[in-house]
Amino acid sequence: MPEGDTVFRAAADLRAALAGQPLTRSDFRVPRYATADLSGQTVTEVVPRGKHLLVRTDAGLSVHTHLKMEGRWRVRPAAERLRESYRIRLVLANQDWQAVGYDLGITEILRTDREDEVTGHLGPDLLGPDWDAAEAARRLREDPDRPAGEALLDQRNLAGIGNVYKSEILFLRGIRPWRPVGKIRDVDGLADLAHRMLDANKDRVERVTTGVPRRGQQVWVYGREGQPCRRCGTRIHKAELGDRVTYWCPSCQPD
């Protein structure tokens, strides 16, 4: 599931392939931009912002994409024949490489000086140069009655957390997902753990929160409904929280 660490790695891959080179092809497979052509423009930067990704060009334009639930980027040699798929939303290529975006939830072009229109609402970026744990904690505390699980997923509080990290962070802090933020003693510690966890995984292909990279042992609770807690043996529970599901251990995360 794409979260801030996934976008961070995708940005690094796109930056290595595209930055500093003029585009020889841009193929937008979304109706609004079907006729757009950025060929000849040089990619100057590729910037991750929470779960958003921005490819900037020397023409003052930014290609804004968001992976949502199923999106992904793949970089291939430019000479390699592209296997066509209805899932492709965007192709950006230069003489050496082609970057292919699949199932992108958002694909659009905007002026670089107007990027704040799509990212200005975001809180401190957990993997960005603007990370500010104190500001993230302050934003979380602004709504003391809100369940912790919902507050962590709100990108206006801190940008980059998705459902996996939300479940894992709350487990490690011993906080049941429905506990109001106002009843959490150490909100600063919660924000700090979120930063440390994403930072530890930003260069990994497979996410690890337990410290054990072996397949099947990487996470504490996410996706483990009905299985025994790795700490206490209690069966992991799963339930809806807002419009998402959450996982928790009833014993390690008491009311």
pLDDT tens-digit map of 183-236: 999 999 999 999 999 999 999 989 999 999 999 999 999 999 999 999 999 999
CA atoms within 13 A on the CB side of 12: 12
> Both 40 and 105 in a single domain?
yes
> Both 102 and 140 in a single domain?
no
Neighbours of 153 (CB within 10 A): 20
Amino acid at 165: Y
> Both 97 and 166 in a single domain?
no
> Both 13 and 38 in a single domain?
yes
Domain stop point among 87, 119, 151: 119
> Both 204 and 139 in a single domain?
yes
> Both 102 and 144 in a single domain?
no
Which structural domain, as residue segments, surrounds residue 168? 133-248
Phi–psi pair at 22, nearest 5 degrees: -75, 145
Burial class (CB in 10 A: 0-12, 13-18, 19+), 121: exposed
**What per-residue confidence (pLDDT) applies to 195?**
97
> Both 19 and 55 in a single domain?
yes
Q: How far apart are CA 54 and CA 109, in angstroms?
A: 9
Domain for residue 128, yes or no? no
Domain for residue 124, yes or no? no
> Both 154 and 187 in a single domain?
yes
What are the catalytic residues?
A: 2-3, 51, 244
Domain stop point among 119, 144, 176: 119
pLDDT tens-digit map of 120-174: 999 999 999 989 999 999 999 999 999 999 999 999 999 999 999 999 999 999 9
Residue 241: band (very low, low, confident or very high) from pLDDT cuts 50, 70, 90: very high
Q: Read off the CATH number of the domain in which 54 is found.
A: 3.20.190.10
> Both 199 and 140 in a single domain?
yes
Domain for residue 127, yes or no? no
Domain stop point among 96, 119, 142: 119
> Both 115 and 138 in a single domain?
no
Number of folded domains that form the chain = 2
